Chain A
Amino acid sequence: MDLTYTQEEESFRAGLREWLARTLPQLPARPDPLDWPGRRAYDMGWQRRLYDAGYAGLHWPVDAGGRGATPTQHLIFLEETEKAGAPYVGANFVGLLHAGPTIASEGTPGQRARWLPPVLRGDEVWCQGFSEPDAGSDLASLRTRAWRDGDDYVVSGSKIWTSHAEVADWCELLVRTTPVSEDVPKHRGITWLAMPMDAPGITVRPLRTLAGSTEFAEMFLDEVRVPVANRVGAENDGWRVTMVTLSYERGTAFVGEVVACRRVLGELAREARKNGRWDDAVLRRRLGRLGAEFGALWRLTQWNVSESQRAGTGVPGIGGSVFKLRYSHARQELYEAAGEVLGAGALDLDHEWTLDRLSSLSYTIAAGTSQIQQNIVAERILGLPKGR
């Protein structure tokens, strides 16, 4: 059990800190949350700076254009960028955190050469077309169909809750290539495609979230032609590929955010001391407890990173589900406490914590609901029987 960083890791950290201190003041002002083209430009501008400085795709393999950094270096990267208040991956989330890694691990050399560099350079944005109106938690029951016509798949159906669809260039799309029958259970017969978002037949209709912004959209697909060459993995083997994608999504996506939550907690305490709420022992103890909680979640992150480093896979293990379960609730508790600290101020939509409080409500839903995560933990870690 060792929590100290090596000389090499520390010098990596120092170099990064120095670069962040130099670079962050040069960034343009943050765009309005409702201005999607502006957000895309801002997020991809940040990605470009990372690319030019050699920090893009830090944890990606070298032959995929990344730096092949160890999971620990990646952890340091996420910790330091968050501490310095650097921009979040934002619109580049899907490309960088799961479509990219999936293509890196499952794609052909040609596919890697085509799709990975633009993600790292900040030229192309990806979105995730998994969920459908009738296939959310039960993702494998998806119905969007695709059939072969010469060198193309022809795709029809609809997707929902597609984040960043408004500004995406590509979509990691799950389609059904063989209908469900007695011989073909629903997990088979699914295929993973890279769909260009400018193909004819795609309609994107933004959905307003409870926070008032349009984070995600509905997508209607009407005989959209996707080249067979855009298929990642074999036909009907998409479920396995999807599991690779989801392990990335659950494993690394929240690391930087733990650091952010610890920072917000400190700010909450400062605010409470200033506005007199600190005298409330119940509230004070609640904040103290959250201190222990986020401290432990950071340690859990280090534990999981050490585990994947030892396994040499780089793919976060199933521990990601344990982390996500606890973290999503802790984050919601943090913003509930913020509501108590701020009092009437918490009802002001212009307060940055109010929007964060609203968005924290999605954490127990997106990327697999808490109920689904509990099923995963019970069945795959504890070995309890599948059932109702």
Chain B
Amino acid sequence: MIPRFSLPGLELARFRRATITRLALVAVVVVPLIYGGLYLWSNSDPVSRLSNLQAAVVNSDTAATVTGVDGSPRTVQAGQDLVTELTGPDAAAGFSWHATSEARAAKGLADGEYAAVLRIPKGFSAALASTGGDAPQQAKLSVTTDDAENYILGQVTNTIATTIRTKVAAGATTDYLENVYVAFSKVHDSLGQAADGAGQLKDGATRAGEGADSLVVGLGDLGTGAQRLATGTGQLRTGAADLASGTARLATGADSAAAGAGQLSTGLGRLRTATKDLPSQTAQLSDGAAQVAHGAGQVSAGAAAVSAAADRLLPAVSAAQDLGPLVDQLLTQTRALAAANPGDANLAQAVTTLQEAQQALADGSAAGVATQVRQQVGALATGAQQLSDGASAVSGGAKQLADAAPALQQGIASAADGAATLATGTRTLATGAHSAADGAAALSAGAARVDDGATSLATGTTRAQTGASQLADGTKQLADGAGTLQTQLADGSQQVPDYGEEGTARAGVVASPVAADRVKENAVPRYSDGLAPLFVPVALWVGGMVTYMVLRAVSQRALASTASSYRAAVAGWVPGALLGVAQAVVLWLVLFLAVGIASPNPVATVLFAALVAVVFTAIHQCLNALLGGVGRLVALVLLVLQLTSAGGTYPVGTSPDFFGGLHPFLPMSYAVDGLRHLVTGAPAGPVWTDVAVLLGFGVLALGVTVLACHRRRTWTVAELHPSLSL
């Protein structure tokens, strides 16, 4: 919204007081719309509305008979076909055509009921049919219009007539040509298929030859292998025989082993029985030895005691020595008594004992005996000790023996069991060995037969190899032959033309060899879209003129104030520019939504039109500020000059040089150019140039307005008192 207390707001507020002035503002906004909108609406799409015009078609043609390609007769009624096409529901031939009589058509053309009359002559079908025969004739159509009714319509009708004529001519010959092209295409296709078949045969034979080659090589390998197999089976035969004899010997050996093992088992059984009491006997031995050791110990102790006693005997012997003289005296006295009493025996006995004692004492034998006794007792003690020790050792050994005896007995039992098992095993072995011997014999016989077979195989493969070589040579020759066939078939097919799917199109081309396509870059769909870039700027120019008929170009109060001239100029321009923007927006909204003009860049189009409006208002303000009422007259002259030089309808180059020379110096040229680019969707580059140039015009206009304001700040007496006639 425009702020209430801004200059444009205040300028427009002047119109708020009364309804009529408010309506004046609305009128200012819609003037360009009335001007541009109505014109563009009325011209929106005249060509598509041609069907609103009536036209007559008069058919004087009669049907003709022609012979078709396949020899069958065919009826041609081209005149009737054309009438049906023109008057049919899908007809797109410009006008609304009506089949009428000659008289009615002539009357209708004269009184304006019909815009054009199309006449189909009598021999039309026959002439068309003759194009495929020996004496072709030209078929003629005639179109009549009346320039007294409308000149432009005459031009349009000529175009329509040309289109109809071309269509008819093309349709007549297309049928004929299509058949020719189809026949060619069929021959071409068949030859092509034959060539393809030969090609496939060639490929197959080539592959078969390659297979035969491989077969020869493979059979060679097979022969070598068979030879080696025969050698191998020979060895197998010998080996199998050896195996048979070996296994026979093994069977015999196994029998002997079985017998031995039986005997071993029996022996061990007996040993087991014999050693059954060994543990108890060795235990008794151990006990006995212990008792011996004990006894010997006691002997030793006794001997030791004797030895000690002997030691004590020695002093007694010494004392006896000392008794000698006493004994000698005693003996003399006893003897003298025994001599005095020769009859007393005791005395005689005493004399003898005394003599012996004296003897004993005299030779000293008593001491020797004691020594010997001691020595012998010592020896006895030593011997007893040795005996005791020996008995103890015997006892220890017997004990160990007794301990070991059960294990020994156990081992013997195990050995006996093992021997029994061994005996059983060897018997089984013997049985097996016999079976093996039988098998080996059978193997030997089989190996002999295999060997015979392998030898036959080696012989057979050699013969197969020879045959395969012959096969390889034969298939190569077949491949060569098939290849030659294919090449020649293909060459033949190439020489026959193929039109395939395009046969119809080609028939169309030959029937109507020249056709012109109209290519329009950035095409606009309708006449009004093409005119809009001219009429929108024209409308906005008129809108700017009207704006400054209603608004004041510059406020007198502003000029009389102490504010700068620049402020006064802008204060007069901004309200006009805002109205201009409103004009542009309203105009385009109606053009887009109601008239149906389209633009690929609607926003840019409206913005550009708004810029045009703003620049135009600046120019109008400038003219008004500078020249007053005369400025409006100048604006009107400028409008006419710009209409003719902006190149809005025909390119400006088609106008006399005067307008071409004027073209670059008038703002509307750039407004038209920019809008044309935006409405058609052409590249936007030139639009920026147009924007820049228009901005330049705007700035120039504002600058001149400022100068005009500056000048108008001085009053004259004439201005002050306009009523005074000066």
A binds B: no
Query: Which residues of B does A touch, CB under 8 Å?
Result: none
Give chain A's interface residues, CB within 8 Å of chain B.
none
